[in-house]
Amino acid sequence: MSIFDRRMVLFSGKGGVGKTTLASAFAYSCARRGKKTLLIELNVRDRLSALFGSIEVGTDIVEVEHNLYAVNITPQTAMEEYALMMLRVRMIYKAVFENRVVSSFLKVIPGLNELVMLGKAHYHATEVDDRGRNVWDMVVVDAPATGHGIFFLRIPTVITSIIESGPMFSEAKKMEDFIQDPEMCALNLVTLPEEMPVNETLMLRDVVRDDIKIPIGFVTANCVYDPLFDDREMGWVEDTGEDTFEEPETQGFIDAARFRTQRVRMQRPYLEQLATEIDAPFVRVPYYFTERFDFQTIRKIADDIDRQLEPVEPEPAATDGARAPLG
């Protein structure tokens, strides 16, 4: 089944590997395929507005690109919306949930924040309009990094294992069934081709597959240095010593080539390990040399994803590097 046919796709990986960027690029790829897409951040400082050059992404859903919307779900807003759906009346909500004693109690319940945020994401993934049609064709979740991510994804199963009935059990069971359904949900893993991130990715794969039982979508190796030379040329570059050339421009080129060659050789075994040990589609995203990541980089990464998973018709080129307008 195509990853683009799921209802909700989550991204996780070791902190610092670029999962927010990859989640954004994948969401953009879905949007330009004609899918009305919602990209979700979870209780973090807004990064999406900088990536898409949009207005600030907060707790209200905003459009950041044509057919692509974004929101930052916080525990407080998720709890309020859930409580209002259950209680129906805002006055009752204020009387109960804004009570100082109740509020203090809720803050110390383990996993409650994660449950209501996952519940809000699940709600959007299954949300329908007045005519019974899905509001969103795709929901993409920038999930927490590995350790917190495992806790976040495991919460529904933990709850269904310790309680057997009641509203919390019912909601947790719906989430558990949904995220474990291979036709509804998938988790994409993001890593760097380095020892620690790869080991952590394999550990995350094992826990997700064997314990939490969420289907794996695809694995992305980010910041890959593509080889510029064949093995013979790389050997010559590595054998060329420092200060070999009098011209600084030539020596600078050799130094840069040597660095590139070393990075290619260092990454190669970890790329082979990922391709061999993880039974899932494997995407390689090159290292983009840019001062800051913006929409143009997101578009390039979306192209990388599409090219390696399911190619689509290319977008019309914007004149003079300008992006297409919203709307």
CATH number of the structural domain spanning residue 63 = 3.40.50.300
Buried/exposed code over 112-121 (b: 16+ C-beta within 10 A; e: otherwise): bbbbbbbbbb
> Is residue 327 situated within a structural domain?
no
Ramachandran assignment for 93, one of left (phi > 0), alpha (psi -120 to 50 degrees), beta (any other): alpha
Residue 319 has pLDDT above 80, yes or no: no
What percent of the chain shows pLDDT beyond 90?
Answer: 61
**pLDDT tens for residues 45-64?**
999 999 999 999 999 999 99
How far is CA 88 from each of CA 81, 85, 91, rounded to the nearest angstrom?
10, 5, 9
Query: How far apart, in whole angstroms, are the C-alpha atoms of residue 49 and residue 103?
Result: 31
- What range defines the domain where residue 144 resides? 3-227+280-321
Report the C-alpha gap between 165 and 137 in whole angstroms: 31
pLDDT score recorded for residue 71: 97
Rounded to whole angstroms, the maximal C-alpha distance in the chain is: 80
DSSP calls for 160-214? HHH--SSHHHHHHHHHHHHHT-TTTEEEEEEE-SSHHHHHHHHHHHHHIIIII-P
Higher-scoring residue by pLDDT: 15, 111: 15
CB 11 within 8 A of CB 40: no
Within a domain: 246: no
Residue 7 placed within a domain: yes
The amino acid present at 54, given as its one-letter code, is S
**Looking at the domain assignment, is residue 232 inside a domain?**
no
Domain count, the chain: 1
> Contact, 98 vs 76, CB < 8 A?
no
Cα angle 299, 185, 61 (rounded to 5 degrees) comes to: 55
Sheet holding 37-42: strands in order across?
62-65, 68-73, 37-42, 138-142, 8-13, 185-191, 216-224, 282-286
Question: Is 292 a domain residue?
Answer: yes
153: pLDDT confidence band, cut at 50, 70 and 90?
very high
What gap in Å lies between CA 173 and CA 157, rounded to an integer?
Answer: 8
Which 8-state DSSP code applies to residue 309? Answer: S
Q: Quick check: is 213 in a domain?
A: yes
- Mean of per-residue pLDDT scores for the chain: 85
Decide if 129 is inside a domain: yes
Residue 117 near residue 43, CB atoms below 8 Å: yes
What single-letter DSSP state applies at residue 47? -
Other C-beta atoms within 10 Å of 15: how many? 13
Let me know if residue 262 belongs to a domain. Answer: no
pLDDT digits (tens, 9 = 90+) for 103-149: 554 454 556 788 889 999 999 999 999 999 999 999 999 999 998 89
Distance (Å, rounded) from C-alpha 167 to C-alpha 164? 10
Rounded to whole angstroms, the Cα distance separating 139 from 77 reads 18
Q: Which one, of 190, 261, 167, 193, lies nearest residue 22 by Cα?
A: 190
Q: What is the predicted pLDDT for the residue at 108? A: 44
Task: Dump pLDDT digits (tens) for 209-259.
Answer: 999 999 999 999 999 998 887 777 777 777 776 666 666 666 667 777 878
φ, ψ for residue 51, nearest 5 deg: -70, -35
Environment class of residue 267 by beta-carbon count within 10 Å: exposed (0-12), middle (13-18) or buried (19+)? buried
